[in-house]
Structure 1
Amino acid sequence: MSINVERHTAISPVELLKTLELSNDEELDLNIRNWVLWDRNEATLAQVLSAVHDQDWEALRIRLCHRLSFGSTGIRGGMRAGFDSLNDVVIIQAAQGICAYLLDIYPSLQKRSQSGVVIGYDGRYNSKRFSQLMAAVFLNNDFRVYLFRRMVPTPFVPYTVVALKCLAGMVITASHNPKEDNGLKVFWTNGAQVTTPHDKRINEYIINHLEPKPSSWELSVLEDHPLLEDPYRRIYPLYFGSLKKLLPPVYLETNECSQLRFIYTPLHGVAYPYMREAFYQARLKPLIPVPEQKEPDPEFPTLVRPNPEDGKEALRLAIVKAEAEHCTIILANDPDGDRLAAAELDPRGRWKIFTGNELAALLGWWAVESYKVRTPKPALGNCIMITTMISSKILAAMARVEGFIFVEGMVGFPWMANRALELQSSGRTVLFAYEDCFGYMFGMTLPDKDGIAAATQLATMACYLRSHRNITLIEKLREIYHTYGYHEMISVTYSAEDADVITEIYSQLRNFGEEGSYPKCILENEFEVVHIRDLTTGLDTSFPDKKARLPVNPETNIITFTFTHGYVVSMRSAANDFRIKINAEIAGLPEEKEWEELHDKLNRMTNAVIEEFLKPEDNGLTQAPYANYS
């Protein structure tokens, strides 16, 4: 798996090209020549040369005639040779493009040599190597580079951007992807992940700076460069000091007296030592780690994939450890430490694995309670909570009762974090933001999701509830539903063999029965559509002018139907996607206490939407495991 970084020296690239028999496909042959001329990594160069020798032109077209595109979540892909994958060449190209873009925005030598950039990496194969190559590119362009010399959780990078006033931050990680993958996330000057227009401009600059400079390969520049610094000793105490400030003294005292213990797994990722320090600062009992998973391991040997969304499979060893230790709560981070999953033992001896939306209900309630404790004269009318259009509306229900402002937005933390910063700059207090795939931002210590801070808050809440109310997290969740209304969500994905099938389904939804008409009901008028929001065309019938207030993107398909009975369903697909991702929720009113009936109605309505809107049998759709890649 690990790439051998020895340079291919048997023959020069120019001479090597003379010996190759190419394909007579002009585009492919140009890309083969470029790869042979550019790649100094012996292992990946050998992969391309072997395919040329075998005349495997189809494989070479896939790898060399397609390119990973940079977007708001960076780039992510398998580690192998090719412009469609993660390797030394593609990382250098990305670094050169980002660097060139920053040079145009910040032409001042003084600015880039003082403020600079920060680079971190996780425990995957090649992560350290890729971070060093990126550092070399920036040092060669006279940027100060804060390069972490050890593995750090992703939240450390945006925190460093803000704390040291850096121009940008980069972290090499593929988060919870399979072991074969790696990736790159980029944070902008404000500490949030890049969004439009920066992501599109960075992609353009990468394309315009594809040829690796010879200096980009020379890691000797890292040996004793005056602009190179490891920020670890500066950032470590600052980060945990900020985390501790979000915990009022009364909560610290409760934690210190509580006997509640927690089982913890980082899923073979980097977060364990940082979680250990967070619990120490919060005066919580020391974590009990899952021994097989506490150390970073790029093979992820005990997991099918290192994704906390996999529920019981991801927490299997943690449950075994919890039962052996007689602990009732499990906490888990994903491998780069920016997401949080949790489970609790119920009174019947069964493990309740919380969904991302259920944890958000608990943490959202706790954010309000904590704000009231921290603030002498709390003014909830000035406070904000944010989530995405495909996440639960439980925060909206809370806002109606508690008086804070609820903001619904686009999918993914890049949009939410940048929106939170805008609201903060206008004088608002952002208490909490989340997305349904276990990403939580508690306060504005750093403008991105942080699984370490979220875990510390959840553990503190659990101790507080046990000590002061003698109730569990499960019981508190039920209280939340009694107060604000029962909320439940289903997420499912359907796949087609061809992206054109997906395009045609959306076309049919926009011309349902007649041109320009959307579906008006399901189950023969039993449930009517109240509002339609189509962020592909810009339609939103909930407003008098029928114009969407959220960003419109004609290149993607996102349609949300709001029905009677508090039922909302969103369908979304990326450009040229062969999948439709469906998020459906039923939101009961506080007076609706028959939760089982709401549960049955959610399932019945979702099945009807799938059958009547998607027509899986007619369109040859198959149900696939749901995965959120945002």
Structure 2
Amino acid sequence: MSVEINTGCAYRDRLIAEWLRMDKNPKTIKELKTLLEQRKYDDISVLLGKRLAFGTAGLRGKMGTGNAQLNDLVIIQTSQGLLKHLVKNREELLKRGGLVVGYDGRHNSKRWAELTASIFVQAGYKVYLFEDVMPTPFVSFAVKQYKCACGVMVTASHNPKEDNGYKVYSDRAVQINEPEDGHIQNAILENLEPWDGSWDTDVLEKSPLLKRPLCDIQCRYLNYIDNAISEESKVLNKKVNLLFTYTPVHGVGYRYVKDICDKINIRLQIVEEQRDPHPDFPTVKYPNPEEGKPVFELAMKTADAHDSKLIMATDPDADRFAMAEKQPCSCWKIFTGNHLGALFAWWMFHSFKQSKNASTIPMDKVYMVYSTVSSMICKSMAKVEGFNTVDVLTGYKWIGSKALELEEKGNKVIFAFEEAIGYLVTTEILDKDGVSACAQMVTCASYVYSQGKTMDQMLAEIFDKYGLHITNNSYYICKDADVIERIFERLRNFRGQNTYPESVLNGKYKIKNIRDLTTGYDDNQQDKKAILPVSPSSQMITFYFENGTVCTLRTSGTEPKIKYYVELCASPDNKDAGAIKSTLDEMVKGICEEFLEPAKNKIAHQSEVK
């Protein structure tokens, strides 16, 4: 398809000519030429004029032509920039340890992993390229095991089938963070021209620098998780003999979840229709267990048919974990990420107290970590039990880094979580991990059921002891960045310049403090400066109400969403759940109407499963 490049804009014409000269993929070349033929010049300007940047989970976006999407050329440019950055900053480690590269079951994932590997191999560096799809946490684990300079995982986790991503781990086995992500971004911009051989993946099989680590890492990883479960718990697992229904939601989790469950004496019933990786996720609209019933529907049918009372799910790259339980009314309860956070926190603390470490590690050295938008149940537990908690920004680039930092100072991190069903149950894997989370939660369930309780009843006991924590989290879809900007700027200038809201519902619920991690303002602090890192490129404001409610409004780092997270933490002596929930619902309604109402015609509310 030949086409004349004359769009009436010299800058755009230069970008088009440059792309067509550098791109060698027939599909993405055809996409651009078709847009040219259709005279969709505004679309072309967006696709070529903007470039994907590192967010809370690396690069992530739709697959297709242009700098603003993911494709062969963008992957090559990203890998070239990453290589130059590593040579400049960690060359000796790169020479000794090389690079780890993995991929999930999405369209293009394997090819982009191979393109990345080939660039490093041709530059003379060792690459551990996984020979098959595997869970994202394997990359973090392998970087630590092999002492590599870096790790790359090609995945879009739970995003829709049209998306993919490029996640980078540092030599510390945690996702890259500021300022390194910015340095890599600059190196990418300095290395946009594909090098000789960058498109050639045939060199991989001939190179002695290519290593295939899957069997070794799988063995080490599963053995480590296995050893983290006590022999007493394995005996109890077998004795209680619960049957768990499991779905990997067309992702990579089946092989690994089954293997660890076999090791620790757990019976599984697989959702066969969703067992194997499939890039189109044919049985679900969105392959995200957070979506609730639509994702769990087949698992519920399978569980009902086999008289299984517990369902487990991992997302497509098996770094997230979800669970549902059959209730006495025969309906299913899908636990929220915060509910599971409470159950995990209780279980990991219970397990720690039963372990040999409990007698050697003082309680003031024990920590749990959670994200700022997650339930504060860990903090409530810590007040009673005597351990410590730390809250960090959203995303495991912050959670993993903080866990590592604490342990390097001689502390013991026994648990970390974010409400988006992401759990860290061992610092041997400095990332959220659905497989190790699964091993701990099924063992927890065996223990709870052996006590004659259900998981829902156990959750109620946790809240009874530490105080009821009720959350109301949801989001609005907004694809217009200018509208999002106006919403948050209005909140910062609510009653005039540099003023925030003082209350909702005409003063009924007063705001005590405000933290704005976009601007760095935090009146919780004496100098009114935020302690947590500030990010001017993302929107995030937290309101602390006098009645103990905390509300955070933020933009998503991976999707066109305005998210809200509202939690009311009651004291242990307040047992009136109905009144607490009524208050929370009233406050959420007021917050949405008063803080987001001016943009009501520009945003679309989406309900989340509670």
Unaligned runs of 5+ in 1: 1-9, 11-15
Whether 1:505 aligns to 2:487 is: yes
Q: Read off the aligned partner of 1:116 and give its amino acid letter.
A: G
Deviations 1:262-281 (A, max 9, x none): 00000000110000111122
> 2-side partners of 1:201 and 1:35: how far apart?
24
Match of 2:7 among 3, 18, 23: 23
> 1-side partners of 2:556 and 2:314: how far apart?
27
Task: Tell me the secondary structure at the aligned position of residue 314 of structure 1.
Answer: helix
- Give the conservation status (yes or no) of the 8 Å contact 1:153–1:271: yes
Task: Tell me the secondary structure at the aligned position of residue 273 of structure 2.
Answer: coil
Match of 1:584 among 547, 566, 581: 566
Within 5 Å, give how 1:393-412 maps onto structure 2: 393-412=376-395
Moved more, 409-418 or 55-64: 55-64
Cα root mean square deviation, aligned: 2.1
Residue 282 of structure 1 deviates from its aligned partner by 1.6
In structure 2, what is the equivalent of residue 165 of structure 1? Answer: 147
- Give the conservation status (yes or no) of the 8 Å contact 2:5–2:16: no
Match of 2:342 among 338, 342, 361: 361
Task: Tell me the secondary structure at the aligned position of residue 578 of structure 2.
Answer: helix
In 2 relative to 1, CA 131–574 (structure 1 residues): closer, same or farther, beyond 3 Å? closer
Task: Tell me the secondary structure at the aligned position of residue 239 of structure 1.
Answer: helix
Q: TM-score, normalising length from structure 2?
A: 0.95
Residue 545 of structure 1 deviates from its aligned partner by 2.7
Deviations 1:152-184 (A, max 9, x none): 111111000001101111011111111111111
> 1-side partners of 2:146 and 2:427: how far apart?
16
Residue 45 of structure 1 deviates from its aligned partner by 1.8
In structure 2, what is the equivalent of residue 59 of structure 1? Answer: 43
> 2-side partners of 1:58 and 1:504: how far apart?
23
In structure 2, what is the equivalent of residue 297 of structure 1? Answer: 278
Unaligned runs of 5+ in 2: none
Within 5 Å, give how 1:535-574 maps onto structure 2: 535-573=517-555
Q: Which has the higher contact order (CA 8 A, sep 6+)?
A: 2
In 2 relative to 1, CA 592–295 (structure 1 residues): closer, same or farther, beyond 3 Å? same
Q: Read off the aligned partner of 1:545 and give its amino acid letter.
A: D
- Give the conservation status (yes or no) of the 8 Å contact 1:112–1:142: no
Deviations 1:542-575 (A, max 9, x none): 2333222111223333211111222111112379
Residue 503 of structure 1 deviates from its aligned partner by 3.0
Residue 211 of structure 1 deviates from its aligned partner by 1.1
> 2-side partners of 1:497 and 1:185: how far apart?
24
Moved more, 231-240 or 444-453: 231-240
Q: Read off the aligned partner of 2:270 and give its amino acid letter.
A: P
> 1-side partners of 2:142 and 2:291: how far apart?
31
Residue 25 of structure 1 deviates from its aligned partner by 1.8
> 1-side partners of 2:110 and 2:41: how far apart?
32
> 1-side partners of 2:604 and 2:55: how far apart?
27
Q: TM-score, normalising length from structure 1?
A: 0.93
Residue 498 of structure 1 deviates from its aligned partner by 4.6
Match of 2:468 among 470, 473, 486: 486
Whether 1:113 aligns to 2:64 is: no
Whether 1:531 aligns to 2:523 is: no
Residue 495 of structure 1 deviates from its aligned partner by 5.1
Task: Tell me the secondary structure at the aligned position of residue 529 of structure 1.
Answer: strand
In 2 relative to 1, CA 586–98 (structure 1 residues): closer, same or farther, beyond 3 Å? same
Whether 1:229 aligns to 2:211 is: yes
Moved more, 126-135 or 530-539: 530-539
Whether 1:458 aligns to 2:458 is: no
Whether 1:288 aligns to 2:288 is: no
Whether 1:183 aligns to 2:143 is: no
> 2-side partners of 1:263 and 1:325: how far apart?
9
> 1-side partners of 2:489 and 2:216: how far apart?
54
Whether 1:68 aligns to 2:40 is: no
In 2 relative to 1, CA 581–347 (structure 1 residues): closer, same or farther, beyond 3 Å? same
> 2-side partners of 1:573 and 1:148: how far apart?
34
In 2 relative to 1, CA 476–296 (structure 1 residues): closer, same or farther, beyond 3 Å? same
Task: Tell me the secondary structure at the aligned position of residue 202 of structure 2.
Answer: helix
Q: Read off the aligned partner of 1:31 and give its amino acid letter.
A: L
- Give the conservation status (yes or no) of the 8 Å contact 2:289–2:322: yes
Match of 2:178 among 196, 207, 213: 196
Match of 1:89 among 73, 95, 117: 73
- Give the conservation status (yes or no) of the 8 Å contact 1:71–1:203: no
In structure 2, what is the equivalent of residue 7 of structure 1? Answer: none
Moved more, 583-592 or 22-31: 22-31
Task: Tell me the secondary structure at the aligned position of residue 287 of structure 2.
Answer: coil
Moved more, 531-540 or 114-123: 531-540
In structure 1, what is the equivalent of residue 247 of structure 2? Answer: 265
Task: Tell me the secondary structure at the aligned position of residue 283 of structure 1.
Answer: coil
In 2 relative to 1, CA 239–63 (structure 1 residues): closer, same or farther, beyond 3 Å? same
In structure 2, what is the equivalent of residue 309 of structure 1? Answer: 290
Residue 72 of structure 1 deviates from its aligned partner by 4.4
> 1-side partners of 2:285 and 2:179: how far apart?
37
In 2 relative to 1, CA 577–148 (structure 1 residues): closer, same or farther, beyond 3 Å? closer
Whether 1:344 aligns to 2:328 is: no
In 2 relative to 1, CA 222–627 (structure 1 residues): closer, same or farther, beyond 3 Å? farther
Match of 1:143 among 125, 133, 154: 125
Deviations 1:496-525 (A, max 9, x none): 675444333333333333443322222333
In 2 relative to 1, CA 432–577 (structure 1 residues): closer, same or farther, beyond 3 Å? closer
Whether 1:100 aligns to 2:81 is: no
Q: Read off the aligned partner of 1:47 and give its amino acid letter.
A: E
In 2 relative to 1, CA 40–238 (structure 1 residues): closer, same or farther, beyond 3 Å? same
> 2-side partners of 1:626 and 1:422: how far apart?
37
- Give the conservation status (yes or no) of the 8 Å contact 1:535–1:551: yes
- Give the conservation status (yes or no) of the 8 Å contact 1:384–1:406: yes
Moved more, 264-273 or 563-572: 563-572
In structure 1, what is the equivalent of residue 419 of structure 2? Answer: 436
In 2 relative to 1, CA 223–443 (structure 1 residues): closer, same or farther, beyond 3 Å? closer
Question: What is the total number of aligned residue pairs between the two structures?
Answer: 607
Deviations 1:453-498 (A, max 9, x none): 001110000001112x111111100000000011111123235675
In structure 1, what is the equivalent of residue 591 of structure 2? Answer: 609
- Give the conservation status (yes or no) of the 8 Å contact 2:514–2:523: yes
Within 5 Å, give how 1:373-388 maps onto structure 2: 373-374=354-355, 375-377=357-359, 379-388=362-371
In 2 relative to 1, CA 20–621 (structure 1 residues): closer, same or farther, beyond 3 Å? closer
- Give the conservation status (yes or no) of the 8 Å contact 1:487–1:586: yes
Residue 83 of structure 1 deviates from its aligned partner by 1.6
> 1-side partners of 2:599 and 2:285: how far apart?
33
Match of 2:198 among 216, 222, 229: 216
Task: Tell me the secondary structure at the aligned position of residue 185 of structure 2.
Answer: helix
> 2-side partners of 1:554 and 1:205: how far apart?
22
> 2-side partners of 1:196 and 1:627: how far apart?
31
- Give the conservation status (yes or no) of the 8 Å contact 2:141–2:428: yes
- Give the conservation status (yes or no) of the 8 Å contact 1:571–1:583: yes
Task: Tell me the secondary structure at the aligned position of residue 272 of structure 2.
Answer: coil
> 2-side partners of 1:497 and 1:537: how far apart?
23
> 2-side partners of 1:513 and 1:44: how far apart?
49
Match of 1:449 among 414, 422, 432: 432
Deviations 1:78-135 (A, max 9, x none): 2222221111111111111111100101234xx4232000000111111111111101
In 2 relative to 1, CA 295–500 (structure 1 residues): closer, same or farther, beyond 3 Å? closer
- Give the conservation status (yes or no) of the 8 Å contact 2:245–2:299: yes
> 2-side partners of 1:455 and 1:574: how far apart?
26
